Amino acid sequence: MATIEASRAELDQLIEATSQSDPDFDTVVLPLEALGDRLHRVWSPVRHLQSVANTPELRAAYDACLPALSRYATELSHNQWLYRLYQRLSEGKAAQKDGVREGGGRLLELAIRDFTLAGVHLPEDRKARFKAIMEELAQTEAGFEHNVLDSAAAWSLHISDAERVKGIPEHVLEPAAERAREAGKSGWILQLDQPTYVDVVTHADDRELRRQLYRAWVTRASDQADYSPDNDNSAVMERILALRHEAAQIVGYADFADYSLATKMAKSADEVRAFLMDLVAHSRAAAKRELAELEAFAGLSLEPWDIAYYSEKLRHQKYAISDEELRPFFPLPRVMSGLFSVLEKLYGLRISLVEGIETWDQSAAYYQLTGKDDQPVGGFYVDFFARSNKRAGAWMDQCLNRGRDHGQLQVPVAHLVCNYARPSGDRPSLLTHDEVVTLFHEMGHVLHHLLTRIDYPSVAGINGVPWDAVELPSQFMETFAWEPEVVSLCSAHYQTGEPLPAAILRSLRESKNFQAGLDLVRQIEFALFDMRIHTGPVPADSARIAGILREVRAEVAAIRHPDWNRFAHAFTHIFGGGYAAGYYSYKWAEVLAADAFGAFEEGGLFNADLARRFRENILEIGGSRDIAEAFIAFRGRPAHVDALLKQTGITA
C-alpha cells in the first residue's frame, strides 16, 4: 500500500513539473516505467508466494491488496493527462529521436491502445463503474483459484487393502504410506495433488480406485464435491463472466471475446473459431480412430478414468516403452544438466547454480545465466515439487523485468515452477518423458523473459507480446525434448549411469505422435468452450455454462464424459488466469512453433545461424515489434497450419 501511495505522489509531482513545459519521451515515459517496475518488484514476490506457499495469513494479505492494486491500475489508465501526453509523444515521433532505445515507439502505441481498452474516453460515471468492476473481478478471480486449491487439499483417501494399490508406482506409495503412519493408520493415504492423480489414473489396476481419483479431480470446487462443500465455484464463475461482459460493453465492445482479441494476433472470434474448426476437420477422424483402437485393445467400452490406464498399456505394447520404465532414466538432475547443455549449444548460454540464496522452500534453488562474454544475462528460481499449499500445474512467472534506469541495468529474473514427485531417500525425483517436455516448455518461457534486449519493462520479455504468440518460444523449445540427440543428453539411469538403450530411444521417438488426434481435439474442446462462454450473451447460470461445455464436447470431442464432470469449475487458466477468451492461444502459437522448428529440421538441430536468427527476431524483441512481421523476418514467410499437422502426424 505504501508503494502505491508513493507512486501516486510521484505521479502528481511529475504532472506538475511537466504541465508548464513541452515534455519529451525521457522526462515522462522513463519515470513512469520506473514507477511501474517498482510496484512490480514489490508485488511479484507476494503473487508468487500465494501460488507456491499458500497460508491463511498470506492469502488474507494478498486478497486485501487486490482491490488497491486494481484501483491504482484503473486510475492510471483513466488519467487524461497521461493519455493526451502519450498521444502527443506518439504523434510527434518522440520515440524515434536519438537516444530513445529500441521499443520506444511500440511502447507508446501499446500504451495508447491500453488507455482506450480501459475506457479513458468514458464519462466519469462509466469510468467509476469500470473501476469497480475491475476491483471486484480481481478479487473474484483470486477467489476462484483459492477454492480450487482448498477443495483439492480437503480430499484424501485412506486405503488399507494392498490389492487396491497394485500398479501404483512406489514413488507415489512411499509418501502415501508415510502420511498414513503419521496419522496412526496402516496402509496409505492418497492426496489430490496433480502427480498423484496422474499416476493413479495411469497405473492403478483397481478400476474403482481410478474412478474415485478421477471423480475427485474433475469435481474440485464444484457442486459435486461433497468433500469440500464450502468451495463451490458455481456462483463465482457466473459472476466472473458477468463482470467481464459488462466491462467489455462499457468500453464499446460487443462481448468479452471481442475485448480480449483487441490485444491479440487473431482479429475476431470468427477467425478463432474458423482456425479451431479447421483443426477439428483435420483431427477428429484421427481421434475417433485412436479411441476405437484403444477400446478394441481394452476389450470394453472405456470411461474417462480408463483412458490413461489403457493408453499406457497400449503404448507399451506398440512401442515397448512405458512411463514407469522410462522414469529411472530421467532423474531430474540429469534432465537439468542436459537441458542446460542444449541451451549452451543453441545460444552460447551457461547456467550455474548459485548457492546461499534464500528461498521459500528448502527444495527451491536459484540459477544464473551468463552469455559468451561471461556477463550475467539473468537468473531464475526453480520450484519443482508438489505440495499441498501449492497450485497445481507448471508455469513461468516474472520476478524482475529487464529495465534500464539512469544507465543502471536491471537484469531479468524468472520463477520456473513445476509439480513433480519429490525425491525419496537416495532416489532423486524421477520424471516421465512428458514431464521432461513440460520442463523444456517452461524453460522456453524463461528464455523469452531473460533474453530480451529491450530496456523498457512494459515491452520487455513477455510484456507487450500478444497472448496468442506468448507460447511460441515455449512450444518451440519443448519440441527439442523429442530429438534423439537431446534425449541422450537428458537421460541416464539414476543408479547405474547407463544411457537410455538405443532401442528405447528409438521407440520413444516413434511414440511421439501416439494419440495425437485425441490430444489435439481435447485442447480444441477447451479452446472452443472458452471462446463460446465469452461470446454473445452471458450464460445465465452455472448449469448453462456446463451445458455449453456439453455442446462443445458433442461437436468435437471423441471421449464421453459423465454428467457429474465439472471440469470448468477448476479451469483456472480462464477463470483465474490470463487465458480468458484466449485459450486458443496454445494451438495458435503451436502453429508458429511447429513452423519455426521446421527450419531447424531443414537446417540442422543446432544450426548456429538459425539459433541466432530465432533469438534476435523472436526471443529478444519482447513486445517491441509486431510478432507476425518478426516471424517472417526469421522464417522468410508467414506460418502455416500444415507444419503443425505434419509435426503431430495428423497428415503425412
Closest CA to 157 of 206, 121, 120: 206
Q: Where in the sequence numbering do the catalytic residues fall?
A: 442
Confirm if 168 and 202 have CB atoms less than 8 A apart.
Answer: no
- Cα torsion angle, 535, 540, 543, 547, sign: negative
CA distances from 249 to 213, 244, 273, 536, 538 (A): 41, 9, 21, 11, 12
C-alpha grid cell, residue 369:
545465466
Q: Would you call 472 exposed, middle or buried from its count of C-beta atoms within 10 A (0-12, 13-18, 19+)? A: buried
Q: State how far Cα 43 lies from the chain centre.
A: 19
C-alpha grid cell, residue 26:
525521457
Work out the number of other CB atoms within 10 angstroms of the CB of residue 235. 12
Q: Which residues pair with 351 in a beta bridge?
A: 369
What DSSP state is assigned to residue 367?
E
Q: Would you call 173 exposed, middle or buried from its count of C-beta atoms within 10 A (0-12, 13-18, 19+)? A: middle
Q: How far apart are the first and last CA of the chain?
A: 57
C-alpha grid cell, residue 622:
519482447
Q: What is the 3-state secondary structure (H, E, C) of 156-211?
A: EEEECCHHHHCCCCHHHHHHHHHHHHHCCCCCEEEECCHHHHHHHHHHCCCHHHHH
